[in-house]
Every structure is written in structure tokens, then in C-alpha cells.
Amino acid sequence: MLKDLHYIAIEGVIGVGKTSLAQILGRRVNARLVLEKPEENPFLEDFYQDPKRFAFQTQLFFLLSRYRQQMEFPQIDLFHRLIISDYIFAKDKIFAYLNLEDRELLLYEKIWSFMEKDIPKPDLVIYLQSTPQRLLENIRQRDREYEREISPDYIRALCESYNHFFHHYYETPLLIVNATTIDFVHNPNDLEKLIEGIKKARQGINFYNPM
């Protein structure tokens, strides 16, 4: 049950609806939202245009930004019993191993391992899983300027990396959601069924498949 949780993190590839679901759940249970702000990364648009040249700068900015935000997690107060975030700190390594070269990874690992020990763990991670085709459609529909240069190959590679990461993820309880055929933003029935699936999640790996 959501009432037994204090910290929920929602994850998934770009365009899957992490932030939308976090905002919907946040309104439903009066949670405090902790949301990524990728548009604040000054290297991101350059990275999508020239990944090899700007990968390390982009990754390091995200790593430091995520660490700072995690360290500012508020104490549970009278107004917000629950925190909902649209990312987990551990996912930073997905992008690092996908985009960085070997020498850059050595430096990245040293920085990441120093930071990681201080990061709070969620009570539940929700992984929204979808297909590259659906993700690309969502990205095109929302038409964010800094995402216009994202290539289909990059989205496919991200899907593979995310799937591998979360099918070997055991740090916290995990709910893997097949989000390919549902629309929890515009379809109230899809949303209510998904929320029921979230409420039923227990220890270990759980699955929600609307099919």
C-alpha cells in the first residue's frame, strides 16, 4: 500500500512518462516531488548532436546535479509524508556505461563510488518499460527543443541498457510495468489499474502487465 511507503522512485527511458506519473501520483497522495530538470544541463543539446565529443561533460553535470538534489531530500514533515522522484541515482551508471570511453569511465567510477554511499534508497522503484517505437512517438509529440536530435539508434540502445539494468536490479523492491499499450495520462481506467498494481507490489521483483 502507498500509505506504508515513504519514498517512491519512477524510472524508464526518455519519453516513457516518468515525470507525468510522478506528478499524477504526487497529486493523488499529496507527496513531495523530486524531479529531474534535464533542460538545465548546458551540454545536453550538444550531446545529442555530437555524443562522442560531449558525453563526459554531459554525464558529469548530471551526476553532480543528481547528487546535490538527492542530498537535499527533505525530512518527512507534517505536509508531505511521501517523496516521489522521477529517477534513481543508480541509473546514472546506465548512461555512463553507454556513452563514456574507458578512460572516462575510470574517472567516473571513482567519483560515483564516493557519492553513492550517501544516497537514500527508495522503498519502491517503478520501472516503466516500453518499446523504442512508442518512446520515439512520445518524444516527437512533446517536441522539446533539446530532444529533437535524439536518434532512434540511441533510444534503442537505451532500451536495451535499461532492460538489462533493471532485470538485474535487487537493491530495493521493484515493479516492472509494461507501459507500451497503456495511457495513464489521458485514460483514467488505465491509471486506476496501474495504481492498483503499484499498491500490490511487495518485496523483490514484481510485474504489472495489462495484457
Extract the C-alpha cell encoding 19.
515525470
Domain count, the chain: 1
Extract the C-alpha cell encoding 42.
548546458
Record the pTM.
0.92
- What is the pLDDT tens value at each position of the chain, 211 positions in all? 566 788 999 999 999 999 999 999 999 988 889 999 999 999 999 999 999 999 999 999 999 999 999 888 755 555 567 899 999 999 999 999 999 999 999 999 999 999 998 898 999 999 999 999 999 999 999 999 889 889 999 999 999 999 999 999 999 999 999 999 999 999 999 999 999 999 988 889 999 998 7
Which domain CATH number covers 168?
A: 3.40.50.300
Range of the domain at 176: 2-208
Task: Round the CA-based radius of gyration of the chain to a whole number and report it.
Answer: 17
Q: DSSP class of residue 12? A: E
Extract the C-alpha cell encoding 167.
532485470
190, 183 contact by CB (below 8 A): yes
Extract the C-alpha cell encoding 101.
570511453
